[in-house]
Amino acid sequence: MKLTKEQINDIKDQQSQENVTKRVTAPELEKILYEAIPALDHGFIRVIDYMGDDSSIVQSARVSYGKGTKQVSTDSGLIKYLMRHWHSTPFEMCEIKYHVKLPIFIARQWIRHRTANVNEYSARYSILDKEFYLPDPKNLAAQSIANRQGRGDVIEGEQAKEVLELLKNDAERTYDSYETMLNQKFDGSTIDENKKGLARELARMNLTLNTYTQWYWKTDLLNLMNFLRLRADHHAQYEIRVYADIMLDTLKRWVPITYDAFMDYRVGGTEVSAKGKIIIQKLLKGEEINLEQSGLSKREWKELMEAFEITNKIV
């Protein structure tokens, strides 16, 4: 990840601020406020602002004055209860804002989570950076045979080299064409003084999806956890998972009690259907049951057995 001199100075200016506030703050999150945390080859995440902490959740749940209870153990018990019983509104009282630099194809996947306020870098107004995401060879995988939207075995050798060259060359070629159509180089210099540059809103059309974009993404704590439950999961696409893992660390710094409950009940826990519950009850009683008797599909049965690590029943 490379930052321009201007970006580095901007971050230093932001971090040098000393503001006095009566609002609650999260000391561990304050330590990394405005810092550009690297993601992928050219991307980053920065926490720009936040509102509330664990005590804000407790306060809103009890509709009380002040910072909630004085005992952390009591606050912890209430937050666990809220998480366990899927009470959502108290978690909506906290908000966080990120500055994210990411490849366009990940941004288009990310934006499917429609529960945030987003303002993206305008390629109608400014010229996009000459930076493209190129996968590390270890993350260059073939299409999965079993999963239509997943990856299979890693591609190696000459085929991997060929794919990476194609990705790199296509990105550079289309960016060169982008500059030609704009009649302007990335550094601001003019290519041909006798030509007019095409409108930026049109010239951007042929850029590859691995070109980097940036946005400010603001959401509340509830929807952040919904995002992380899906995108920090090992089934999620690797590239978006890199960002989600960084955000998971910011969650821990921001609301540590909520983070523990989230990891316990959402990330580490599992949901069981009514039929699945009956199957588990029968297995606990020592009764024999198989896929054909269960009423579940083959996929449902496999997921249930894997969730409870019942390996001898997996088909």
Q: Which residues are catalytic?
A: 231
Helix (H, G, I), strand (E, B) or coil at 240: helix
Burial of 145 (0-12, 13-18, 19+ CB in 10 A): exposed
Helix, strand, coil distribution of the chain in percent, nearest 5 = 50, 15, 35
Strands 212-220 and 95-103: antiparallel
* DSSP per-residue letters across 135-200: --GGG-EEEPSS-TTSEEEEP-HHHHHHHHHHHHHHHHHHHHHHHHHHTB-TTS-BS-TTSPPPPH
Give the whole-angstrom CA distance, residue 97 versus residue 192: 41
Helix (H, G, I), strand (E, B) or coil at 217: strand
Query: Which residue, chain included where needed, has tokens 């990891």?
Result: 263
> Residue 205 has what DSSP assignment?
G
> Residue 129 has what DSSP assignment?
P
Q: Which residues contact 289 (CB under 8 A, 6 or more apart)?
A: 279, 282, 283
Helix (H, G, I), strand (E, B) or coil at 45: strand
* DSSP per-residue letters across 66-106: TTS-S-HHHHHHHHHHHHHTT--GGGGG-EEEEEEEEEHHH
Neighbour count for residue 56 (Cβ, 10 Å)? 21
